[in-house]
Amino acid sequence: MSFAAHIITAYPDMFPGPLGESLQGRALADGLWRIAMHDLRDFGVGKHQNIDDTPAGGGPGMVLRADVAAAAVDHVTAQNPLPVILPSPRGVPFTQSLAQEWAKGDGLIFICNRFEGVDERFIAARQPLEVSLGDYVLGGGEIAAMVMLEAILRLVPGVMGKLESGADESFSPANDGLLEYPQYTRPQSFEGLDIPDVVTGGDHKKLAAWRRAQAEALTQNRRADLWADFLKRKK
Ligand code: ADE
């Protein structure tokens, strides 16, 4: 069974967007994953099929109605019992380990906010998992859903084809949660900078040790948080 991405949004034309390009676009065409769009407007209420309204108690912007969000999610989950993700700056941080976990599943349902957010009663009643990309505010959940999907899809078997590696890359367990070591390719000399001898020397043991030392140094210098986690795990 291929990985299914269900997207509930008021802007279905934003998809597949970048997910229709490059390796994940090829994989989409080849049926290794699929995308199903669900237009929030189809679940709108009243003559104008409204999906949002002004915030109770006042304040700027518009709030996605709980009844509309719930109707859309119920419609999709009835046929597709998959985890429901609500991209939101309030959510748990998105990480490589979440991507790995979700890549093993059958798919996900993303409900995308625009506006000031969604009525809290939708969250209380349907309990979607709120997930954040980081400590900044996007205009909506659509691009956040695309980012998460791109990270997930490259871990879905077959999507990367022969390039499938993933083992050594940044954050991966096989790399001990360290940042990835530096990469080089032709030419041998670029603006007076040469590829380090150890990289092209052919001594695989020496190269592995060098890459490991580079990964550790990069992580220690750039990411005190990851470095502290690494030291804790080593103990
Ligand atoms: N929607 C708006 N901001 C977001 C963020 N930082 N992460 C995920 N979804 C969002």
pLDDT digits (tens, 9 = 90+) for 167-212: 567 887 778 999 999 999 999 999 999 999 999 999 999 999 999 9
Mean pLDDT within 4-18:
98
Mean pLDDT within 137-141:
96
At 65-88, the pLDDT tens digits run 999 999 999 999 999 999 999 999
pLDDT over 70, % of the chain: 97
- Give the orientation angle of helix 224-234 with respect to helix 204-222, to 10 degrees: 120
Q: Tokens 């099929």 belong to which residue?
A: 49
3-state secondary structure (DSSP) of residue 233? helix
Is the separation of the CB atoms in 184 and 199 below 8 Å? yes
| Best of 86, 112, 129, 136 for a ligand 1 pocket test (most atoms within 8 Å of beta carbon) | 136
Structure tokens at 44: 């709108």
Assess whether pLDDT exceeds 70 at residue 124.
Answer: yes
Write out residues with Cβ below 6 Å of ligand 1: 87-89, 132-134, 136-138, 141, 144
Assess whether pLDDT exceeds 90 at residue 46.
Answer: yes
- Calculate how far, in angstroms, residue 176's C-alpha sits from the geometric centre of ligand 1: 28
